[in-house]
Amino acid sequence: MMSRSTLGADFLVIGSGVAGLRAALDLCRVGRVIVLTKGHPLQSNSIFAQGGVAVAMSEEDDVAIHLTDTVKAGHGLCRREAVRVLVEEGPDRIQELIRWGAKFDKTGGKFAFAREAAHSRSRILRARGDATGNEMVRVLMAQAGRQKRIVRLDYHFTVDLVVEEGRCCGAVVLDEHSEEHLIIPAKAVVLSTGGAGQIFARTTNPPNATGDGMAMAFRAGAELQDMEFVQFHPTSLYLPSSPPFLLSEAMRGEGGQLRNNRGEPFMQRYHPLGVLAPRDIVARAIWAEMAATRARHVYLDVTHLGSSFVKRRFPTIYATCLRHDIDITEEWIPVSPSAHYMMGGVATDINGATTLPGLFAAGEVACSGVHGANRLASNSLLEGLVFGMRAGVAAVGWASRRSMPDLTHHVECLKRVRLERLEDAEKVRSSLRRTMWGQVGLVRSRESLVRATAQLARWERMVSMSFAGRADMEVKNMVQVAHCVAEAALWRENSVGAHYRSDFPESKRPGWKQHSQLCSEIRTTRRTDLKLQGRVVASRTPKTG
């Protein structure tokens, strides 16, 4: 551990999931790296990824098919260049992980590729049945632990990015144990803080998914893109007294059936692919069925798959449900949709460079355009690996032409900042989550979005000061990210992918291929045509190595 007086590094990585760890492994080749984690390092979204990682490595598959499936799931709003990078570089990143010790499930000596919704081939690699994210993080942490140039600072909450002369060159950080605020300088910063599921009352995300990276990048002047596209996972465990628990899409891929409260299968009425339809369609079908039957949930039925198969294939899910007195080998599982994944985020090019020089982003916090309006199942872990590496390589190229910044002025300013406490922080957090779920959830309308943005604007004024503690700062971040989501959803007057407007149900209204873009400097939503998107981004981002 380095002393406080020498705390600084060539590179700062904020977040320690798959994307952050993979970026750090490239950064450490040329300089010292500090990896910041709020709370415990085993609380990242990556750890909880059950279903698997999609990669075109089986005999029946190829990258062109994977690209087609991804673009189709994204409803025409994917950036093809980014998707091509994902599917073409994905196999190399997975093989690299295997060389480092990752153990993916096999059958008869060959990898056991599974199929999930909207995939036309079996291409899902799994580890220990339903613990794929856990295995990938384990291997990456072990590999990072072998690098002397990587220093991990756990229980360090990043408050804000430091910008000097238009360049991101460090961060303000809270030591959660000592409650000391400090500034850590760096030649380049990589954001990999994950998503923002906690802005919704029902979410599969862990408690620390409060949108911190998106909020701090937004405050620093970086551009956010596609914030209206929030993926709602169709099937999370519904128990009134417990937080939602994700029930992997692979359960339907293996033959699980959805039933309403009358016991009737219903998905075939909504889509020809039935339970294997894309996530946005399945989620809204469940929502519609719940409304039609006046129920708070539907059921996922895997009892016909056989007890031994279910226990072997889904050991984590089986054990978790059993703790709630539900034996999924004998009983139907009560399920309902929950907020799951942000397709939007900090706008980047295909190398992870944001619109703020010196700041790079990868993983769920970023929006490279790879997911479009709806993420293809199990592409997220692959995205973390591929774009985590690319962000690391690009940050190295950027930093090679920069010296270590002098942040003495910022240190002095920090000493004079008056830190406040947010009154009724937990009440604001709870009210925000209910507002977002009810007004900006699966089904939206102008009326609901106008109400939400007005309330969020009031909360945003309330959280405009600097706060002393992590909990208060998380609420501030949640309010700002939620406001961005609601503003972008209000702007997009059509329905496409995960964004559904009951007052504009058509998908192909004029301008539907445009992307929402939000920047704190002007606080308005701008439009960029999909065909011009690559050039617009490239012209506003620094060249990388």
Q: Where in the sequence numbering do the catalytic residues fall? A: 279
Judge whether 187 and 10 are in contact, CB under 8 Å.
yes
Strand (E) or helix (H) holding 125: strand 124-125
Judge whether 373 and 236 are in contact, CB under 8 Å.
no
Distance CA 360, CA 493 (A): 31
Distance CA 445, CA 438 (A): 11
Residue 478: what residue type?
M
> Among 381, 432, 39, which Cα is nearest to 207's?
39
Axis-axis angle for helices 380-399, 132-145 (nearest 10): 30
Distance CA 155, CA 179 (A): 10
The count of other CB atoms within 10 Å of the CB of residue 106 is 10
**Residue ranges with strand state E in 248-332:** 257-259, 298-301
Contacts of 379 (CB under 8 A, 6+ apart): 54, 70, 86, 370, 371
Write the CA distances from 403 to 25, 391, 392, 400, 480, integer angstroms.
21, 19, 17, 8, 33
Judge whether 225 and 344 are in contact, CB under 8 Å.
yes
Strand order in the sheet with 181-185: 156-164, 167-175, 181-185
**Residue ranges with strand state E in 343-457:** 345-347, 359-361, 366-367
